Amino acid sequence: MKTLFTKMNALLLTILILSGCSANSFNDLFSSYSQQMRGVKQAQNQGNFQQAISLIPKRSSHDGSYNLGLLEKARLEYLAKNNNQSRKGFAHAYELIEQSQQQAKIELSRGLENVAAIVSNDNAVRYDIPLYEQSMLHSYQALNYITQQDLSGALVEVRRANQVQEKALKANSDSINKSLANANNEKFSIDNLPQQYPSMNRTIGDVKNGFQNAYTFYLSALLYESAGQPNDAYIDFKKALEIYPDNHYLQQDVWRLAKALQMTDDLALLKSTFPRTITKKNKHNNNQGKVIFIVENGIVEAKQETSLSLPIYTSHNDVRLYNVALPSYSNQLTVYSPLTLTYQGKHYQTEEIVRLQSLAAKQLQDKLPVIITRQITRLIAKEEIRQTLARKGGDIGNIFANIYNIVTEKADTRSWSTLPDSIQILTLNLSAGHHMLNIDINGVNKQIEVSINKNRQTLVTLNSIGAYVDYSVFNL
Amino acid sequence: MNKLLMTASFSLALIALGGCTNKSVVRYGDATAVETTNINFGSTDLQKVASQMTDSLLISPVVGTLTANTRPILFVESIKNKTSEHIDTESITDSISTKLLRSGKFRFVDMARVAAVREQLNFQQSGGLVDSSKAIAFGQQVGAQYMLYGNLSSIVKSNKDKSDVYYKFTLRLLDLKSGLVEWADETEIRKTKEKKLVSW
């Protein structure tokens, strides 16, 4: 009996030390990230951003999810309009991303994390910020620089975002090539997953290029145009259009710049694909400026934990059921009614430019094979622990091991969960001077005063979360 | 006896441990030493860019004729940062203008301080504290004849083995009267960093 306790103690100690070395907080062993963030998201939903910031779980800088905590905090600071704080937070997070990219090819500490993950759960592995989250980081950072009227700083962020998007493109083509190559000898594919695991196809939807972020392209195009680089703007507008080919505002921008830059080949091609309403109007009023609405809707949904019971044959050929927890997203998208702008009796509606929920679900789907592989290794390791304890400690050991296995079986539900769900855009040409615009979103009516400068852009960023609606106006 | 030995070895161990803990040390270093902390734009790049550009400008034959009998008046327009890093380009132009001033061949007007100058002149003219006969009158400053401007751009590439960054710095001297670019030069810097194979 005494030896059993020393053994159990030794096991507990190893786990604690391992989780200590891989430096994730003790909390992560027993509660999932989504559970820890529940209060934060509730406060965010009510528009209490300061309260939400105070509720973010504190993490030390050695913690594997420290970078994620920085992102959540910086995003909430952005919403609370503490742009300076937000800028510092994002800059720190970017520094960490850069550091991890410069790391050695083989990191021993990562190996240790994997060991810890195998005896506890995936939360022990350090969080790598996925590319779509990085593109959002740079987009918000660019807006933070805009609030300080630092266009050249914002353009630096735009270029960084562009590097991220290029990386995303390359990573995606690599993974397609790889999966084509292994198509025949693939051991595990998502299709083989048990029925219990929810399909996320509806969430991912038909987002072409689900890996690239059209909003980031759009924002960078806007900033390039403000900096007097219409050619760069044209390229990014076109990239955004590739992802959202039916967005009328994108079509307008591409058409306008194609004409201004005399892209004759493109014009001929675009004319055949664009609706007549866009290609026919070519009267350009010189005394006009452009107002752009960027509307952020809702909060991206948190990852859920799906528990599966996998039947596995033991060496004695009896079936045993094993509990396995996998992260997932629910298979449906929230529908947001577009913002309606009324000006001089005419109505204009926003159109979607990115669906972050879909990008998040796509990211998870791509990572699923790795998660499942690690899950299987963990099953074997935990079963090994159980068997050893059962052999040495009889029933008590068995019960202890089972409790430990069930309690620590937590899915890795970490993701940047304070991001908006959907982002929509609207542009309108107005004559120079002051204008009052009436907007209506989710039944909330607001009047927004904008000043339009000749041949310049005025940017309105609007956040709509539940009943909370707030906006800022910038003259670019 | 045993106890004594125990305490002795224990205190020895403590001292040894104390010796192991490293203290942070402050040192003075060479300001022009090559700095390779990371791959980003650093002090060595700034110094290299500034010194190469001023040397090139000062030995150029065109500038030799420009400065033959007179000291032309310059103003520095900003250096446009087209890289993917937040770089203080004003610091680069400061270095260049300081070096040029030191050469004694050029004179500068400082556009960054126009507001402060205006405020001071306003104070002298209408503050009531300065003797109006000795106050500096408006409209006596000399305008610049040449404009110095440039671009700093970069190309960043990286793969799983190494990262590479290439900087190109272009500087031009424009005659404000004729609109002609009298002189231009560029400096290139390439830095690569190979990743370590194994680390903690």
Instruction: Give A149-160 pLDDT, tens digit per residue.
Output: 999 999 999 999
d(CA A352, CA A246) in angstroms, rounded, equals: 10
Q: What is the largest CA-CA distance in chain B?
A: 98
Per-position b or e across A438-465, b if 16+ CB within 10 A of its CB: ebbbeeeeeebebebeeeebbbbbbbbb
Can you tell me which residue has the tokens 């030191």? B102
Read off the pTM.
0.84
* Band (B180; pLDDT cuts 50, 70, 90): very high
Looking at residues B16-25, what average pLDDT do you find? 62
Q: Directed axis angle between helix A131-147 and helix A151-181, to 10°?
A: 170
Cβ proximity of A32 and A413 under 8 Å: yes
Strand, coil or helix: B169: strand
Q: Where do runs of H (alpha helix) occur along B22-71?
A: 43-59, 61-66
How far away is chain B from the Cα of A133, in angstroms, using its nearest Cα? Answer: 18
Nearest to A33, CA basis, from A359, A418, A410: A410
Residue B197 contacts A where some CB pair is shorter than 8 Å: yes
| A119 and A381 Cβ atoms separated by less than 8 Å | yes
Residues in chain A with CB shorter than 8 Å from the CB of B83 are 156, 159
Between CA B126 and CA B139 the distance in angstroms is 15
Helix B89-103 with B43-59: angle, nearest 10 deg = 40
Size of the A and B interface in Cβ pairs below 8 Å: 48
Amino acid at A443: G
Q: Do A102 and B83 touch (CB under 8 A)?
A: no
Distance between CA atoms of A6 and B5, rounded to whole angstroms?
32
| Residue A163: pLDDT over 80 | yes
pLDDT for the residue numbered A21: 42
Query: CB B200 to CB A101 under 8 A?
Result: no
Specify which residues A437 forms β-bridges with. A448
Residues A470 and A462 sit within 8 Å (Cβ to Cβ)? yes
> What is the tens place of the pLDDT at every residue in B121-176?
999 988 788 888 888 888 888 999 999 999 999 998 888 788 899 999 999 999 99
Domain boundaries, chain A: 2-182+208-244+285-475
Quick check: A274 pLDDT over 60?
Answer: yes
Confidence of residue A186 (pLDDT cuts 50, 70, 90): very low
Q: What is the mean pLDDT of residues A32-59?
A: 90
CA atoms within 13 A on the CB side of A16: 6
Shortest Cα distance from B89 to chain A (angstroms)?
11
The reply to whether B163 touches chain A by the CB within 8 Å rule is: yes
Q: In whole angstroms, what is the distance from residue B22 CA to residue B98 CA? A: 41
> What is the number of other CB atoms lying within 10 angstroms of the CB of residue B15?
10
Our CA-based measurement puts residue A221 at a distance from the nearest CA of chain B, in whole angstroms, of 15
Cα–Cα distance between A137 and A74 in angstroms, integer? Answer: 9
Closest CA to A230 of A196, A253, A204: A253
Q: What is the pLDDT of residues A224-248, one digit of tens each?
A: 999 999 999 999 999 999 888 889 9
Mean pLDDT of A50-71: 89
Neighbours of A288 (CB within 10 A): 15
- Measured CA to CA in angstroms, residue A319 lies from A310, A314, A316, A400 at distances of 10, 6, 9, 21
pLDDT interval class at A188 (50, 70, 90) = very low
- B:103-142 residues touching chain A, CB 8 A cutoff: none
What domains does chain B contain, in order, with CATH numbers? 40-112+147-193 (3.40.50)
Query: ipTM surpassing 0.90, yes or no?
Result: no
How many whole angstroms separate alpha carbon B9 and alpha carbon B20? Answer: 16
Predicted pLDDT at A205 = 65
- Per-residue pLDDT tens for B52-90? 999 999 999 988 898 888 999 999 988 899 998 899 888
Sign of CA dihedral A445, A451, A455, A456: negative
Q: How far apart are the first and last CA of chain B?
A: 44
Element (H, E) at A408: helix A356-408
Q: Which residues pair with B148 in a beta bridge?
A: B76, B173
pLDDT confidence of residue A61: 84
